[in-house]
Amino acid sequence: MSYRDKAEQLHAELEKHPGTEDLRKEIKAVLVRPEHGPTLRDRLREFAAQHPKLAGALQGLIDELNAAGL
Amino acid sequence: MRLYAVLFAIGLAVYGALAWERLGKQSVAPQFVVQADAWLHGHLDVEPVTSDADWAKLETVALADGREVTGRRMVTQPLFRTTTGDFIPTSQLRQSKGVRWYMSFPPVPSLLMIPSALIGGRGGNDVIPTALVAALILPLLLLVLRRLRDAGLSQRTDEEHLWLVALLAFGTVLFFSSVQGKVWYTAQVCGVVLALVYTWASIEAAHPVAAGLALGAAALTRTAMAFMLPLFLFEVWRCRRAEWRRIALQFGAPVAGFAIAGMIYNAVRFHSPLEFGHTYLDVRQQILIEQFGLASYHYLARNLAVAFTLLPEFPGHSPWLQISGHGLAIWVTTPALLYAVWPREKPAIHRALWITVACVAAPSLFYMNSGWIQFGYRFQLDYIVFLIVLIAIGGRRLHKPLIAACIAINLFGAITFDRQWQYYRYGGNAYDVVVAH
Protein backbone atom coordinates (compact mmCIF):
# COMPACT_ATOMS: atom_id res chain seq x y z
CA MET A 1 0.00 0.00 0.00
CA SER A 2 1.49 3.38 -1.03
CA TYR A 3 1.69 6.43 1.20
CA ARG A 4 -1.09 7.85 -0.94
CA ASP A 5 -3.41 4.94 -0.13
CA LYS A 6 -2.45 5.08 3.54
CA ALA A 7 -3.08 8.82 3.60
CA GLU A 8 -6.50 8.41 2.05
CA GLN A 9 -7.34 5.57 4.42
CA LEU A 10 -6.31 7.62 7.44
CA HIS A 11 -8.17 10.65 6.10
CA ALA A 12 -11.34 8.57 5.87
CA GLU A 13 -10.78 7.21 9.39
CA LEU A 14 -10.27 10.71 10.82
CA GLU A 15 -13.55 11.90 9.31
CA LYS A 16 -15.26 9.92 12.09
CA HIS A 17 -13.39 11.96 14.71
CA PRO A 18 -14.50 15.54 15.36
CA GLY A 19 -11.80 18.16 15.73
CA THR A 20 -9.51 16.63 13.14
CA GLU A 21 -10.27 19.07 10.31
CA ASP A 22 -6.83 20.71 10.37
CA LEU A 23 -5.00 17.42 10.34
CA ARG A 24 -7.17 16.13 7.50
CA LYS A 25 -6.40 19.27 5.52
CA GLU A 26 -2.68 18.69 6.04
CA ILE A 27 -3.02 15.10 4.87
CA LYS A 28 -4.74 16.30 1.70
CA ALA A 29 -2.05 18.93 1.23
CA VAL A 30 0.79 16.43 1.27
CA LEU A 31 -0.84 14.48 -1.54
CA VAL A 32 -0.47 17.53 -3.75
CA ARG A 33 2.65 19.17 -2.40
CA PRO A 34 5.38 16.87 -1.11
CA GLU A 35 7.10 19.74 0.69
CA HIS A 36 4.34 19.46 3.32
CA GLY A 37 5.68 15.99 4.25
CA PRO A 38 7.93 16.93 7.19
CA THR A 39 5.25 19.18 8.75
CA LEU A 40 2.65 16.46 8.41
CA ARG A 41 4.95 13.87 9.98
CA ASP A 42 5.46 16.13 13.02
CA ARG A 43 1.72 16.72 13.31
CA LEU A 44 0.99 13.00 13.07
CA ARG A 45 3.45 12.29 15.88
CA GLU A 46 1.88 14.95 18.11
CA PHE A 47 -1.59 13.66 17.31
CA ALA A 48 -0.58 10.05 17.99
CA ALA A 49 0.66 11.04 21.44
CA GLN A 50 -2.73 12.61 22.21
CA HIS A 51 -4.84 9.85 20.64
CA PRO A 52 -3.31 6.44 21.47
CA LYS A 53 -6.23 4.57 19.90
CA LEU A 54 -5.32 6.01 16.51
CA ALA A 55 -1.59 5.60 17.00
CA GLY A 56 -1.40 2.48 14.83
CA ALA A 57 -3.01 4.10 11.80
CA LEU A 58 -0.98 7.28 12.30
CA GLN A 59 2.28 5.38 12.57
CA GLY A 60 1.37 3.44 9.41
CA LEU A 61 1.19 6.68 7.45
CA ILE A 62 4.41 7.96 9.02
CA ASP A 63 6.15 4.77 7.89
CA GLU A 64 4.79 5.11 4.36
CA LEU A 65 5.85 8.77 4.20
CA ASN A 66 9.35 7.72 5.17
CA ALA A 67 9.35 4.95 2.57
CA ALA A 68 8.28 7.38 -0.15
CA GLY A 69 11.04 9.79 0.78
CA LEU A 70 8.67 12.41 2.10
CA MET B 1 -5.18 3.42 -40.82
CA ARG B 2 -4.10 0.27 -39.02
CA LEU B 3 -0.75 1.80 -38.11
CA TYR B 4 -2.50 4.79 -36.52
CA ALA B 5 -4.70 2.47 -34.46
CA VAL B 6 -1.67 0.41 -33.39
CA LEU B 7 0.15 3.56 -32.29
CA PHE B 8 -2.85 4.67 -30.26
CA ALA B 9 -3.03 1.24 -28.63
CA ILE B 10 0.70 1.30 -27.81
CA GLY B 11 0.37 4.76 -26.31
CA LEU B 12 -2.60 3.73 -24.23
CA ALA B 13 -0.92 0.53 -23.04
CA VAL B 14 2.33 2.24 -22.04
CA TYR B 15 0.72 5.24 -20.39
CA GLY B 16 -1.80 2.96 -18.69
CA ALA B 17 0.97 0.70 -17.39
CA LEU B 18 2.94 3.63 -16.00
CA ALA B 19 -0.13 5.28 -14.46
CA TRP B 20 -1.27 1.89 -13.13
CA GLU B 21 -2.36 2.33 -9.49
CA ARG B 22 -3.64 5.83 -10.30
CA LEU B 23 -6.01 4.62 -13.02
CA GLY B 24 -8.84 3.57 -10.74
CA LYS B 25 -9.31 6.82 -8.88
CA GLN B 26 -9.34 10.55 -9.18
CA SER B 27 -6.05 12.47 -9.03
CA VAL B 28 -5.35 14.78 -6.11
CA ALA B 29 -5.66 17.90 -8.27
CA PRO B 30 -8.92 17.24 -10.13
CA GLN B 31 -9.78 20.82 -11.09
CA PHE B 32 -10.98 19.96 -14.60
CA VAL B 33 -13.42 17.28 -13.41
CA VAL B 34 -14.70 19.44 -10.57
CA GLN B 35 -15.27 22.27 -13.05
CA ALA B 36 -17.03 19.95 -15.50
CA ASP B 37 -19.31 18.75 -12.71
CA ALA B 38 -20.04 22.35 -11.70
CA TRP B 39 -21.01 23.18 -15.30
CA LEU B 40 -23.33 20.17 -15.39
CA HIS B 41 -25.01 21.56 -12.28
CA GLY B 42 -25.31 25.03 -13.79
CA HIS B 43 -22.54 26.69 -11.79
CA LEU B 44 -19.37 28.49 -12.79
CA ASP B 45 -17.94 28.37 -9.28
CA VAL B 46 -17.12 25.09 -7.60
CA GLU B 47 -18.00 23.63 -4.23
CA PRO B 48 -15.58 24.38 -1.39
CA VAL B 49 -12.36 22.52 -1.96
CA THR B 50 -10.56 20.24 0.43
CA SER B 51 -6.95 20.70 -0.66
CA ASP B 52 -4.82 23.74 -1.39
CA ALA B 53 -3.96 22.84 -4.96
CA ASP B 54 -4.19 26.03 -6.97
CA TRP B 55 -7.78 27.16 -6.59
CA ALA B 56 -8.85 30.76 -7.07
CA LYS B 57 -10.56 32.17 -4.00
CA LEU B 58 -12.92 35.13 -4.18
CA GLU B 59 -14.24 36.59 -0.96
CA THR B 60 -17.20 38.90 -0.55
CA VAL B 61 -16.97 41.32 2.36
CA ALA B 62 -19.20 43.95 3.91
CA LEU B 63 -17.49 47.31 4.41
CA ALA B 64 -17.91 49.71 7.28
CA ASP B 65 -19.83 52.08 4.95
CA GLY B 66 -22.38 49.36 4.21
CA ARG B 67 -21.16 48.45 0.71
CA GLU B 68 -20.32 44.89 -0.30
CA VAL B 69 -17.30 44.19 -2.47
CA THR B 70 -15.68 41.05 -3.88
CA GLY B 71 -11.98 40.31 -4.18
CA ARG B 72 -9.13 38.97 -2.08
CA ARG B 73 -7.13 39.86 1.01
CA MET B 74 -3.58 40.67 0.01
CA VAL B 75 -0.81 38.81 1.80
CA THR B 76 1.90 41.46 1.51
CA GLN B 77 -0.13 44.46 2.66
CA PRO B 78 -3.14 45.07 4.93
CA LEU B 79 -5.35 45.69 1.89
CA PHE B 80 -8.33 44.08 0.21
CA ARG B 81 -8.04 44.08 -3.59
CA THR B 82 -11.43 44.16 -5.29
CA THR B 83 -12.23 42.58 -8.65
CA THR B 84 -12.61 46.10 -10.04
CA GLY B 85 -9.02 46.92 -9.09
CA ASP B 86 -9.64 49.05 -5.99
CA PHE B 87 -7.56 48.63 -2.84
CA ILE B 88 -9.39 48.94 0.48
CA PRO B 89 -7.62 48.99 3.88
CA THR B 90 -8.55 45.85 5.81
CA SER B 91 -9.46 48.11 8.74
CA GLN B 92 -12.54 49.10 6.70
CA LEU B 93 -13.75 45.50 6.36
CA ARG B 94 -16.60 44.76 8.72
CA GLN B 95 -17.59 41.18 8.00
CA SER B 96 -16.85 38.36 5.60
CA LYS B 97 -19.96 37.39 3.66
CA GLY B 98 -18.48 34.18 2.30
CA VAL B 99 -16.00 32.71 -0.10
CA ARG B 100 -16.42 31.34 -3.61
CA TRP B 101 -13.92 29.01 -5.23
CA TYR B 102 -13.13 28.97 -8.92
CA MET B 103 -11.03 26.90 -11.26
CA SER B 104 -8.67 29.43 -12.78
CA PHE B 105 -6.96 27.22 -15.34
CA PRO B 106 -7.98 27.78 -18.96
CA PRO B 107 -11.10 25.65 -19.23
CA VAL B 108 -10.99 23.64 -22.48
CA PRO B 109 -9.67 20.43 -20.83
CA SER B 110 -12.77 20.51 -18.62
CA LEU B 111 -14.80 19.78 -21.75
CA LEU B 112 -12.93 16.48 -22.02
CA MET B 113 -13.82 15.66 -18.44
CA ILE B 114 -17.58 16.01 -18.95
CA PRO B 115 -18.05 12.24 -19.58
CA SER B 116 -16.12 11.53 -16.36
CA ALA B 117 -18.22 14.04 -14.46
CA LEU B 118 -21.39 12.47 -15.88
CA ILE B 119 -20.24 9.06 -14.65
CA GLY B 120 -18.60 9.95 -11.35
CA GLY B 121 -19.82 13.44 -10.57
CA ARG B 122 -17.41 15.67 -8.72
CA GLY B 123 -15.31 12.62 -7.90
CA GLY B 124 -14.98 11.50 -11.53
CA ASN B 125 -11.77 10.02 -12.84
CA ASP B 126 -9.28 12.35 -14.54
CA VAL B 127 -6.35 9.94 -14.94
CA ILE B 128 -7.96 7.73 -17.59
CA PRO B 129 -9.15 10.65 -19.79
CA THR B 130 -5.64 12.11 -19.63
CA ALA B 131 -4.07 8.82 -20.72
CA LEU B 132 -6.61 8.51 -23.54
CA VAL B 133 -5.85 12.01 -24.80
CA ALA B 134 -2.11 11.39 -24.47
CA ALA B 135 -2.37 8.19 -26.53
CA LEU B 136 -3.79 10.26 -29.40
CA ILE B 137 -0.45 12.05 -29.63
CA LEU B 138 1.28 9.08 -31.23
CA PRO B 139 -0.94 8.73 -34.32
CA LEU B 140 -1.35 12.48 -34.61
CA LEU B 141 2.41 13.02 -34.80
CA LEU B 142 2.70 10.36 -37.50
CA LEU B 143 -0.04 12.19 -39.42
CA VAL B 144 1.89 15.48 -39.14
CA LEU B 145 5.19 13.90 -40.19
CA ARG B 146 3.61 12.26 -43.23
CA ARG B 147 1.96 15.54 -44.12
CA LEU B 148 5.36 17.26 -44.04
CA ARG B 149 6.72 14.63 -46.41
CA ASP B 150 3.75 14.99 -48.75
CA ALA B 151 4.35 18.74 -48.79
CA GLY B 152 7.98 18.17 -49.79
CA LEU B 153 9.31 19.61 -46.55
CA SER B 154 10.80 16.35 -45.25
CA GLN B 155 12.36 13.26 -46.80
CA ARG B 156 12.02 11.06 -43.74
CA THR B 157 11.01 7.40 -44.09
CA ASP B 158 8.16 5.90 -42.06
CA GLU B 159 10.73 4.09 -39.95
CA GLU B 160 12.26 7.44 -39.01
CA HIS B 161 8.77 8.79 -38.38
CA LEU B 162 8.17 6.03 -35.87
CA TRP B 163 11.41 6.82 -34.05
CA LEU B 164 10.31 10.45 -33.82
CA VAL B 165 6.93 9.33 -32.50
CA ALA B 166 8.71 7.28 -29.85
CA LEU B 167 10.90 10.26 -29.04
CA LEU B 168 7.96 12.60 -28.41
CA ALA B 169 5.71 10.07 -26.67
CA PHE B 170 8.27 8.44 -24.39
CA GLY B 171 11.51 10.39 -24.72
CA THR B 172 10.32 13.77 -23.50
CA VAL B 173 8.66 15.16 -20.38
CA LEU B 174 5.39 14.30 -22.06
CA PHE B 175 5.92 10.78 -20.68
CA PHE B 176 5.76 11.65 -16.98
CA SER B 177 3.08 14.29 -17.65
CA SER B 178 0.77 11.77 -19.33
CA VAL B 179 0.55 9.45 -16.34
CA GLN B 180 -0.48 11.94 -13.63
CA GLY B 181 -4.04 13.08 -14.32
CA LYS B 182 -3.52 16.22 -12.24
CA VAL B 183 -4.66 19.57 -13.57
CA TRP B 184 -1.24 20.95 -14.52
CA TYR B 185 -0.13 17.91 -16.49
CA THR B 186 -3.48 17.25 -18.14
CA ALA B 187 -3.46 20.79 -19.53
CA GLN B 188 0.02 20.20 -20.97
CA VAL B 189 -1.04 16.92 -22.59
CA CYS B 190 -4.14 18.49 -24.14
CA GLY B 191 -1.94 21.34 -25.39
CA VAL B 192 0.34 18.90 -27.25
CA VAL B 193 -2.67 17.32 -28.99
CA LEU B 194 -3.94 20.74 -30.08
CA ALA B 195 -0.48 21.81 -31.25
CA LEU B 196 -0.34 18.69 -33.44
CA VAL B 197 -3.75 19.44 -34.98
CA TYR B 198 -2.72 23.06 -35.50
CA THR B 199 0.57 22.07 -37.14
CA TRP B 200 -1.09 19.54 -39.44
CA ALA B 201 -3.70 22.12 -40.48
CA SER B 202 -1.14 24.91 -40.91
CA ILE B 203 1.18 23.12 -43.33
CA GLU B 204 0.71 24.95 -46.65
CA ALA B 205 -2.18 26.70 -44.86
CA ALA B 206 -4.27 23.82 -46.16
CA HIS B 207 -6.95 23.71 -43.47
CA PRO B 208 -7.60 27.23 -42.14
CA VAL B 209 -10.77 26.39 -40.19
CA ALA B 210 -9.12 23.46 -38.41
CA ALA B 211 -6.03 25.58 -37.69
CA GLY B 212 -8.25 28.32 -36.23
CA LEU B 213 -10.20 25.87 -34.11
CA ALA B 214 -7.00 24.28 -32.80
CA LEU B 215 -5.36 27.61 -32.06
CA GLY B 216 -8.45 28.93 -30.27
CA ALA B 217 -8.82 25.78 -28.20
CA ALA B 218 -5.10 25.71 -27.42
CA ALA B 219 -5.17 29.29 -26.16
CA LEU B 220 -7.95 28.27 -23.78
CA THR B 221 -5.90 25.26 -22.68
CA ARG B 222 -2.47 26.80 -22.20
CA THR B 223 -2.53 30.56 -22.58
CA ALA B 224 0.99 30.78 -24.04
CA MET B 225 -0.12 28.63 -26.95
CA ALA B 226 -2.07 31.56 -28.39
CA PHE B 227 1.36 32.60 -29.68
CA MET B 228 1.53 29.63 -32.08
CA LEU B 229 -0.01 32.03 -34.60
CA PRO B 230 3.19 32.82 -36.61
CA LEU B 231 3.39 29.34 -38.18
CA PHE B 232 0.01 29.69 -39.89
CA LEU B 233 0.71 33.26 -40.99
CA PHE B 234 4.02 32.24 -42.55
CA GLU B 235 2.40 29.34 -44.35
CA VAL B 236 -0.33 31.58 -45.75
CA TRP B 237 2.37 33.98 -46.95
CA ARG B 238 4.44 31.14 -48.43
CA CYS B 239 1.72 29.11 -50.12
CA ARG B 240 -1.59 30.94 -50.41
CA ARG B 241 -0.78 34.62 -50.48
CA ALA B 242 -3.28 35.40 -53.23
CA GLU B 243 -6.18 34.03 -51.19
CA TRP B 244 -5.25 35.66 -47.90
CA ARG B 245 -8.56 37.49 -47.34
CA ARG B 246 -10.69 34.37 -47.61
CA ILE B 247 -8.26 32.35 -45.53
CA ALA B 248 -8.04 35.04 -42.87
CA LEU B 249 -11.82 34.88 -42.52
CA GLN B 250 -11.87 31.08 -42.31
CA PHE B 251 -9.04 31.02 -39.80
CA GLY B 252 -10.07 34.09 -37.82
CA ALA B 253 -13.74 33.20 -37.25
CA PRO B 254 -13.10 30.21 -34.93
CA VAL B 255 -10.23 32.01 -33.21
CA ALA B 256 -12.51 34.97 -32.53
CA GLY B 257 -15.23 32.60 -31.33
CA PHE B 258 -12.96 31.05 -28.73
CA ALA B 259 -11.56 34.44 -27.72
CA ILE B 260 -15.00 35.97 -27.21
CA ALA B 261 -16.25 32.94 -25.29
CA GLY B 262 -13.15 33.02 -23.09
CA MET B 263 -13.51 36.72 -22.37
CA ILE B 264 -17.20 36.40 -21.49
CA TYR B 265 -16.37 33.46 -19.22
CA ASN B 266 -13.69 35.52 -17.46
CA ALA B 267 -15.85 38.62 -17.17
CA VAL B 268 -18.76 36.73 -15.61
CA ARG B 269 -16.51 35.17 -12.98
CA PHE B 270 -13.93 37.85 -12.27
CA HIS B 271 -15.48 41.05 -13.67
CA SER B 272 -12.69 41.44 -16.23
CA PRO B 273 -12.47 39.86 -19.70
CA LEU B 274 -8.71 39.37 -19.43
CA GLU B 275 -8.65 38.00 -15.88
CA PHE B 276 -8.72 34.21 -16.00
CA GLY B 277 -8.36 33.98 -12.24
CA HIS B 278 -4.73 33.29 -11.40
CA THR B 279 -4.56 36.67 -9.67
CA TYR B 280 -6.80 35.13 -7.01
CA LEU B 281 -4.89 31.88 -6.57
CA ASP B 282 -4.60 30.86 -2.96
CA VAL B 283 -0.97 29.73 -3.27
CA ARG B 284 2.49 30.39 -1.89
CA GLN B 285 3.46 32.37 -5.03
CA GLN B 286 0.86 35.00 -4.11
CA ILE B 287 3.62 37.00 -2.41
CA LEU B 288 5.49 37.17 -5.73
CA ILE B 289 2.32 37.83 -7.71
CA GLU B 290 1.50 40.82 -5.53
CA GLN B 291 5.01 42.22 -5.83
CA PHE B 292 5.82 41.56 -9.47
CA GLY B 293 2.61 40.37 -11.16
CA LEU B 294 1.94 37.08 -12.96
CA ALA B 295 4.53 37.89 -15.62
CA SER B 296 7.65 39.92 -15.10
CA TYR B 297 11.30 40.30 -16.07
CA HIS B 298 11.92 39.46 -12.40
CA TYR B 299 11.23 35.77 -13.11
CA LEU B 300 13.31 35.50 -16.28
CA ALA B 301 16.66 34.52 -14.75
CA ARG B 302 15.06 31.83 -12.58
CA ASN B 303 13.12 30.39 -15.50
CA LEU B 304 16.09 30.46 -17.88
CA ALA B 305 18.11 28.60 -15.24
CA VAL B 306 15.38 25.97 -14.87
CA ALA B 307 14.85 25.51 -18.62
CA PHE B 308 18.48 25.38 -19.68
CA THR B 309 20.86 24.63 -16.81
CA LEU B 310 19.41 22.31 -14.19
CA LEU B 311 21.31 19.02 -13.98
CA PRO B 312 20.79 15.92 -11.86
CA GLU B 313 22.42 16.25 -8.45
CA PHE B 314 24.63 13.55 -6.93
CA PRO B 315 24.58 14.04 -3.15
CA GLY B 316 27.16 11.30 -2.44
CA HIS B 317 24.81 9.30 -0.24
CA SER B 318 21.48 7.53 -0.57
CA PRO B 319 19.50 8.01 -2.81
CA TRP B 320 22.66 8.97 -4.79
CA LEU B 321 20.72 10.91 -7.38
CA GLN B 322 18.35 13.84 -6.83
CA ILE B 323 16.42 16.19 -9.05
CA SER B 324 15.45 19.71 -8.08
CA GLY B 325 11.71 20.22 -7.61
CA HIS B 326 12.09 22.73 -10.46
CA GLY B 327 13.01 19.79 -12.69
CA LEU B 328 15.79 19.10 -15.17
CA ALA B 329 16.85 21.25 -18.11
CA ILE B 330 15.22 20.61 -21.49
CA TRP B 331 18.39 19.20 -23.06
CA VAL B 332 19.00 16.91 -20.08
CA THR B 333 15.60 15.21 -20.22
CA THR B 334 15.71 15.03 -24.03
CA PRO B 335 19.24 15.39 -25.41
CA ALA B 336 17.93 14.45 -28.86
CA LEU B 337 16.29 17.88 -29.08
CA LEU B 338 19.77 19.16 -29.90
CA TYR B 339 19.07 17.83 -33.42
CA ALA B 340 16.71 20.77 -33.78
CA VAL B 341 19.54 23.29 -33.42
CA TRP B 342 21.87 21.31 -35.69
CA PRO B 343 19.97 20.79 -38.96
CA ARG B 344 21.48 19.49 -42.18
CA GLU B 345 18.74 21.11 -44.23
CA LYS B 346 16.64 24.21 -43.73
CA PRO B 347 13.49 23.97 -45.84
CA ALA B 348 11.13 26.88 -46.27
CA ILE B 349 9.24 26.27 -43.03
CA HIS B 350 12.39 26.22 -40.86
CA ARG B 351 12.45 29.90 -39.90
CA ALA B 352 8.67 30.01 -39.29
CA LEU B 353 8.97 27.13 -36.85
CA TRP B 354 11.77 28.75 -34.86
CA ILE B 355 9.90 32.05 -34.67
CA THR B 356 6.85 30.14 -33.46
CA VAL B 357 8.93 28.33 -30.82
CA ALA B 358 10.34 31.66 -29.62
CA CYS B 359 6.90 33.29 -29.45
CA VAL B 360 5.35 30.41 -27.47
CA ALA B 361 8.36 29.97 -25.17
CA ALA B 362 8.72 33.64 -24.22
CA PRO B 363 5.58 34.06 -22.04
CA SER B 364 6.51 31.07 -19.88
CA LEU B 365 10.03 32.42 -19.36
CA PHE B 366 8.52 35.58 -17.86
CA TYR B 367 5.90 33.68 -15.83
CA MET B 368 5.85 33.60 -12.04
CA ASN B 369 6.05 29.79 -11.86
CA SER B 370 8.82 27.58 -13.24
CA GLY B 371 6.55 24.55 -13.51
CA TRP B 372 7.33 23.42 -9.95
CA ILE B 373 7.06 20.64 -9.03
CA GLN B 374 8.25 18.57 -11.97
CA PHE B 375 10.66 15.97 -13.32
CA GLY B 376 11.71 18.16 -16.23
CA TYR B 377 10.81 21.61 -17.55
CA ARG B 378 7.21 20.89 -18.51
CA PHE B 379 6.45 24.24 -20.16
CA GLN B 380 8.50 23.01 -23.15
CA LEU B 381 5.44 20.93 -24.01
CA ASP B 382 3.77 24.12 -25.25
CA TYR B 383 6.19 24.15 -28.21
CA ILE B 384 7.73 20.69 -28.30
CA VAL B 385 5.73 19.72 -31.39
CA PHE B 386 7.53 22.43 -33.36
CA LEU B 387 10.91 21.20 -32.08
CA ILE B 388 10.09 17.66 -33.23
CA VAL B 389 9.00 19.00 -36.61
CA LEU B 390 12.30 20.91 -36.83
CA ILE B 391 14.14 17.64 -36.23
CA ALA B 392 12.04 15.97 -38.92
CA ILE B 393 12.71 18.60 -41.56
CA GLY B 394 16.33 19.07 -40.48
CA GLY B 395 17.27 15.78 -42.15
CA ARG B 396 20.02 14.90 -39.68
CA ARG B 397 20.48 11.14 -39.26
CA LEU B 398 18.66 9.93 -36.14
CA HIS B 399 20.85 7.95 -33.78
CA LYS B 400 18.67 5.26 -32.27
CA PRO B 401 20.78 4.81 -29.11
CA LEU B 402 20.33 8.51 -28.39
CA ILE B 403 16.55 8.22 -28.70
CA ALA B 404 16.64 5.09 -26.55
CA ALA B 405 18.60 7.06 -23.94
CA CYS B 406 15.93 9.79 -23.99
CA ILE B 407 13.29 7.13 -23.40
CA ALA B 408 15.27 5.63 -20.51
CA ILE B 409 15.69 9.06 -18.87
CA ASN B 410 12.00 9.87 -19.13
CA LEU B 411 10.96 6.38 -18.06
CA PHE B 412 12.77 7.14 -14.81
CA GLY B 413 10.65 10.29 -14.48
CA ALA B 414 7.43 8.48 -15.31
CA ILE B 415 8.14 5.83 -12.69
CA THR B 416 9.48 7.97 -9.86
CA PHE B 417 7.62 11.27 -10.10
CA ASP B 418 4.96 11.47 -7.39
CA ARG B 419 5.89 7.98 -6.22
CA GLN B 420 9.45 8.02 -4.94
CA TRP B 421 10.02 11.49 -3.60
CA GLN B 422 13.46 10.61 -2.29
CA TYR B 423 14.74 11.31 -5.81
CA TYR B 424 13.41 14.87 -5.72
CA ARG B 425 14.77 17.83 -3.76
CA TYR B 426 11.70 19.77 -2.71
CA GLY B 427 12.01 20.50 1.02
CA GLY B 428 13.61 23.32 2.97
CA ASN B 429 14.83 26.07 0.66
CA ALA B 430 14.60 23.99 -2.53
CA TYR B 431 12.01 26.31 -4.08
CA ASP B 432 14.13 29.42 -3.58
CA VAL B 433 17.55 27.86 -4.22
CA VAL B 434 17.17 26.88 -7.85
CA VAL B 435 20.76 25.76 -8.32
CA ALA B 436 22.11 23.92 -5.28
CA HIS B 437 25.73 24.80 -4.52
CB pairs under 8 A between A and B: 52
Lowest mean pLDDT among B78-87, B239-248, B274-283, B351-360: B274-283
Task: Count the domains in chain B.
Answer: 1
Q: What is the reported pLDDT for B52?
A: 63
B211, containing H or E segment: helix B208-219
Contacts of A37 in chain B (CB under 8 A): 421, 427
Q: Is the pLDDT of residue B284 over 90?
A: no
Q: Is the pLDDT of residue B53 over 80?
A: no
Whether B48 is covered by a domain: the verdict is: no
Smallest Cβ distance to A32: which of B21, B53, B431?
Answer: B53
Q: What is the reported pLDDT for B50?
A: 65
Q: What is the reported pLDDT for B218?
A: 98
Q: What is the reported pLDDT for B318?
A: 92
B410-437 pLDDT per residue, tens: 999 999 999 999 999 988 888 888 987 8
Q: Is the pLDDT of residue B354 over 70?
A: yes
| Chain A residues 2-61 with a CB less than 8 Å from chain B | 2, 4-5, 24-25, 28-29, 31-35, 37-38
Q: Average pLDDT in the B372-393 region?
A: 98
Q: What is the reported pLDDT for B429?
A: 86
Q: What is the reported pLDDT for B427?
A: 84
- Model ipTM value: 0.75
* Chosen from A3, A25, A33, A40 to mutate, greatest number of chain B CBs within 10 A: A33
Q: Which residue of B has its CA nearest to A69?
A: B422
Domain residue limits at A9: 3-67
Q: Average pLDDT in the B355-362 region?
A: 98
Contacts of B26 in chain A (CB under 8 A): none
One-character DSSP codes across B33-62? HHHHHHHHTT-SSBPPPSS-SS-EEEEEEE
Q: What is the reported pLDDT for B146?
A: 98
Q: What is the reported pLDDT for B51?
A: 64
Contacts of B418 in chain A (CB under 8 A): 34
Tell me whether residues A28 and B50 touch, CB distance under 8 A: yes
Phi then psi for B322, rounded to 5 degrees?
-140, 155
Q: What is the reported pLDDT for A5?
A: 83
- The whole-angstrom separation of Cα B351 and Cα B402 is 26
B296-349 pLDDT per residue, tens: 999 999 999 999 999 999 999 999 999 999 999 999 999 999 999 999 999 999
Tell me whether residues A34 and B421 touch, CB distance under 8 A: yes
- The whole-angstrom separation of Cα A13 and Cα B107 is 34
Q: Which residue of B has its CA nearest to A7?
A: B28
Smallest Cβ distance to B426: which of A2, A5, A35?
Answer: A35
Q: Is the pLDDT of residue A28 over 90?
A: no
Q: What is the reported pLDDT for B165?
A: 98
- The whole-angstrom separation of Cα A11 and Cα B307 is 37
Q: Is the pLDDT of residue B48 over 80?
A: no
Tell me whether residues A33 and B421 touch, CB distance under 8 A: no
pLDDT: which is higher, B54 or B266:
B266
Whether B353 is covered by a domain: the verdict is: yes
Q: What is the reported pLDDT for A19?
A: 84
Q: Which residue of B has its CA nearest to A36?
A: B427
Question: What one-character DSSP code corresponds to residue B378?
Answer: G
Whether B436 is covered by a domain: the verdict is: no
Domain residue limits at B419: 2-31+108-425
- The whole-angstrom separation of Cα B101 and Cα B51 is 12
Q: What is the reported pLDDT for B47?
A: 87
Contacts of B51 in chain A (CB under 8 A): 25, 28-29, 31-32
3-state secondary structure at position B313: strand
Whether B212 is covered by a domain: the verdict is: yes
Lowest mean pLDDT among A30-34, A60-64, B266-270, B411-415: A30-34
Task: Count the domains in chain A.
Answer: 1
Q: Which residue of A has its CA nearest to B419?
A: A68
Tell me whether residues B424 and A25 touch, CB distance under 8 A: no
Q: Average pLDDT in the B221-234 region?
A: 98
* pLDDT confidence bin for B54, thresholds 50/70/90: confident
Interface of B with A (CB under 8 A): 21, 28-29, 50-53, 182, 319, 325, 373, 418-424, 426-427, 430-431
For chain B, the average pLDDT equals 96
**Does A70 contact chain B (CB < 8 Å)?**
yes
Question: What one-character DSSP code corresponds to residue B397?
Answer: P
B148-194 pLDDT per residue, tens: 999 999 999 999 999 999 999 999 999 999 999 999 999 999 999 99
Q: Which long-range contacts (CB under 8 A, 24 or more apart) does B271-278 make?
A: B271/B70, B271/B83, B271/B84, B272/B83, B275/B83, B276/B104, B276/B105, B276/B106, B276/B223, B277/B56, B277/B102, B277/B103, B277/B104, B278/B56, B278/B104
For chain A, the helix, strand and coil percentages under 3-state DSSP, each to the nearest 5: 80, 0, 20
Q: Average pLDDT in the B98-107 region?
A: 95
